[in-house]
Structure 1
Amino acid sequence: MERTAENTVIGFIGTGVMGKSMAGHLMSKGYKLHVYSRTKEKAESLVAQGASWHSSPAALAPLCDVIITMVGYPRDVEEVYLGDQGVIPFAKQGALVIDMTTSSPSLAKRIEEEASKRGIWALDAPVSGGDIGAREARLSIMAGGSKEAFEQAVPVLEAMGTQIVHQGPAGSGQFTKMCNQIAIASNMMGVCEALIYAEKAGLDPSTVLKSIQSGAAGSFSLSNLAPRVINGDYAPGFYVKHFIKDMQIALDSAKEMNLDLPGLSLALSLYERLARMGEEDSGTQALFKVYLQQQ
């Protein structure tokens, strides 16, 4: 069955930096929305627009045809889905659950297994694009799960993203997101090193950026995060603490594959140093502060 605004009630769990924008887009498309967040205040703007707030995932789940989660860590995902007051024990048969958190591939597989036992469809569908992509509804969404579950989800996902790709069975979305994070990790080191090098060479980093962001060095981080660094803006589009979590998941899964990723290992060590500097709630572009320490 195609999930449209006319026949679908959506539950959204996790209304943080990205989740709030994503949920807002669903409401703007006409979907009736139920929300849960551990901090009720984070959902107040959505409630003011007509969303219904609930005190637990268990209270929300039986009212919804589709349940989307965008929380912080794998432990949060596990609790929200499989805990005593979680989604899976209380969702109705035939419901579709979509975890858009960046989480563990093995946990995504486990959630699908438990969901299927209860006649519930499940997808892991992490995203890339940060706060900008969430705000502008142009996230890249990488989905893992059955083809049938994916086809049901597409109309809903289209409200939040523009690049929506089915990557394969359960866990495939999370594996793909790890590829994304691996590429970003080394790229952020390159962005920061280019900026500090420009400063040391006596160049204007903003002028340098005009030349290099549209050439072979171009990337999302160079175009969107480097200007924030230059302006001293370290507010989170994506938290340092969550990026550290992602890199650790990637390294753990790489270890299971007997795969060495030295660039990722170095990036993780630098971000862990940044967190020890008290910057875990800053945006990932705050990595530049590690390089500033060397001056």
Structure 2
Amino acid sequence: MSIFGDQVGDGQAIKAVNDVMSAACHLLTLEVVAMGRKAGLSMASMITAINQSSGRSRFSEVALPALLAGKPSSDVALSVMIRDVDQAIALGIDAHAPMPIAAMTRALLQMGMNTVGPDARLDDMVDVIGNLAGTSLRAPDKAPDQVSHEVVHDAPATSGVDALPADAPGLTAMRAAHGALIKTKPVIGYIGLGAMGHALARQALNAASELHVYDVDPARVDALVQLGAKAAPDLATLASACDVIMLCVPGAHEVRATLFGDGGMAPALRPGTIIVDQSTGSPALTRALAAELAALGVALVDAPVAGGPKGASDGSLLSLCGGEQSALATVQALLGAMGSQVMAFGGPGNGHAAKLIKNALGACNRLITYESVSLAVKLGLDLDVLRAVIEKSSGCTAAFSRIVPNLRSGAPTAQLRLELLAKDLRLITQMAADCGTPAVIPNVVRGTVESAVGTLGKDANIDELARLFDLHVLSA
């Protein structure tokens, strides 16, 4: 027999916390995967990426592979899950613990019950969420994933270079140039030398015959020059000198300005050049940009990264890539030489779509954790006992396992300003709108984070979100 607390009812309260986390994560993951499916990503590639990221959960590790294999994701009665979520919400009301995500989870579950009927199972939510998104989460992937050397390939999307006629002027020459680059150490340009860009540029030094760098801050440029890079006086000079140009700037608008703005690179780009966008950006804007560059004989590969500056430095970085096939092959080899694991998701924009899928689950599971743990604390539950139970139960997520141990110590779990988290959530919900999917839970989380930017400040670290749930007092 296990002892779950000092008070009568503690065991039932811990069960309620687990069940509401499990239900919210279950529906969130289905919503996000449906969005990815509509964006052109395969189920197999999404499962691989999710389970190597902060979006990982017991549901993603167990139920998603079962779903891919054509098996039920859960046999729990929907009426039982609604009852359990109702219990958690009632406890939250009594404890003055607001639970907006739990309330939205309950609404989605009720929608499922109303749609399927009183005998509905939790597995039926796979079809309910899929229908709401206008897709099927049970249908097999259109093209089987091919996994080799830690590279996952999705079917290429028809955008950018792939949208051009096979005999388009310069297309054959461009692809031949890409093939030649694989056999050599290219001349690389790097633009955007903040914390992440600096770490990535350092890795590029090892993969380049020459590295040319540019940033609006001369001190950042000097730091790379001291390591052996060459300072570019302007964007045009860098563009004319380089075979591959990598960018780590805030987003798609800055990428466009770097290419086509005043003093931008476009007039100086040589046919056959590859642009690698390592920012987190909009799939739709990336596809439009890829088409414009393709008309110049230039390929765009979106290759956002996961793992932060530490991952770039120690070689544990994950690059999520999309682009024209010959350019992808070149960039995969280059990023591998820079110490990154590479996953290729198909055509232009698909790398950004995959990154947003990962970020959506990571951000939303964090808020689900704060909301549920706040309830537990206000009910007087022991956090160590709660953690021991949840980590063996259906409500476990990577966010929970990372956050709870740090609540008492106050140590940061990540380095991300709220302004950037809000930007990511805007991109996520815009992608959902572009794809025609509701993304109900991500929209709730976006609203909470947007409000937090105003309350806590745009420069507050992501861990400061705990203050919204009265959890900051644990480390005070």
TM-score normalized by the length of structure 1: 0.86
Q: Looking at secondary structure, tell me which structure has more strand per residue.
A: 1
Q: Report what 1:65 is aligned to.
A: 243
SS at match of 2:195: coil
Query: Are the structure 2 counterparts of residues 152 and 241 from structure 1 closer, same or farther at C-alpha, using a change threshold of 3 Å?
Result: same
Q: Report what 1:80 is aligned to.
A: 258
TM-score normalized by the length of structure 2: 0.56
Q: Deviations for 1:145-178, whole angstroms, at most 9, x for unmatched residues?
A: 1111100111211144543122111111122222
SS at match of 2:348: coil
Query: Are the structure 2 counterparts of residues 204 and 124 from structure 1 closer, same or farther at C-alpha, using a change threshold of 3 Å?
Result: same
Moved more, 208-217 or 9-18: 208-217
Cα contact 1:188–1:285 (8 A) shared by 2? no
Query: Are the structure 2 counterparts of residues 255 and 136 from structure 1 closer, same or farther at C-alpha, using a change threshold of 3 Å?
Result: same
Q: Report what 2:343 is aligned to.
A: 165
Residue 35 in 1 paired to residue 216 in 2?
no
Query: Are the structure 2 counterparts of residues 57 and 196 from structure 1 closer, same or farther at C-alpha, using a change threshold of 3 Å?
Result: farther
SS at match of 2:345: strand
Distance 2:337 2:293 in 1: 24
Q: What does 1:138-149 align with in structure 2 at a 5 Å threshold? A: 138-149=316-327
Could you tell me which of 384, 400, 424 is aligned with 1:246? Answer: 424
Query: Are the structure 2 counterparts of residues 216 and 27 from structure 1 closer, same or farther at C-alpha, using a change threshold of 3 Å?
Result: farther
Distance 2:411 2:315 in 1: 23
Q: What does 1:98-109 align with in structure 2 at a 5 Å threshold? A: 98-109=276-287
Distance 2:270 2:394 in 1: 50
Q: Deviations for 1:223-273, whole angstroms, at most 9, x for unmatched residues?
A: 555555543245962332122112111212212333211211111112112
Residue 188 in 1 paired to residue 366 in 2?
yes
Q: Report what 1:123 is aligned to.
A: 301
Q: Report what 2:292 is aligned to.
A: 114
Distance 1:210 1:69 in 2: 43
Q: Which amino acid aligns with 2:277?
A: D
Cα contact 2:187–2:209 (8 A) shared by 1? yes
- Paired residues in the alignment total 295
SS at match of 1:67: strand
Q: Which amino acid aligns with 1:60?
A: L
Indicate the structure whose relative CO is greater, using CA pairs within 8 Å and at least 6 residues apart. Answer: 2
Query: Are the structure 2 counterparts of residues 55 and 239 from structure 1 closer, same or farther at C-alpha, using a change threshold of 3 Å?
Result: farther
Query: Are the structure 2 counterparts of residues 239 and 119 from structure 1 closer, same or farther at C-alpha, using a change threshold of 3 Å?
Result: same
Larger Rg computed on CA atoms: 2
Q: Report what 2:357 is aligned to.
A: 179
Query: Are the structure 2 counterparts of residues 118 and 244 from structure 1 closer, same or farther at C-alpha, using a change threshold of 3 Å?
Result: same
Query: Are the structure 2 counterparts of residues 281 and 158 from structure 1 closer, same or farther at C-alpha, using a change threshold of 3 Å?
Result: farther
Ranges in structure 1 where 5+ consecutive residues have no aligned partner: none
Q: Report what 1:135 is aligned to.
A: 313
Ranges in structure 2 where 5+ consecutive residues have no aligned partner: 1-178
Could you tell me the percent identity over the aligned residues?
26
Q: Which amino acid aligns with 2:240?
A: P
- Shift in Å, 1:212: 4.8
Q: Report what 2:226 is aligned to.
A: 48
Q: Report what 1:231 is aligned to.
A: 409
**Structure 1 residue runs of 4+, over 6 Å off?**
none
Residue 16 in 1 paired to residue 194 in 2?
yes
Q: Report what 2:167 is aligned to.
A: none
SS at match of 2:193: coil
Q: Deviations for 1:4-47, whole angstroms, at most 9, x for unmatched residues?
A: 69531111111222221111112244552111122222343322
Query: Are the structure 2 counterparts of residues 160 and 188 from structure 1 closer, same or farther at C-alpha, using a change threshold of 3 Å?
Result: farther
Distance 2:271 2:383 in 1: 56
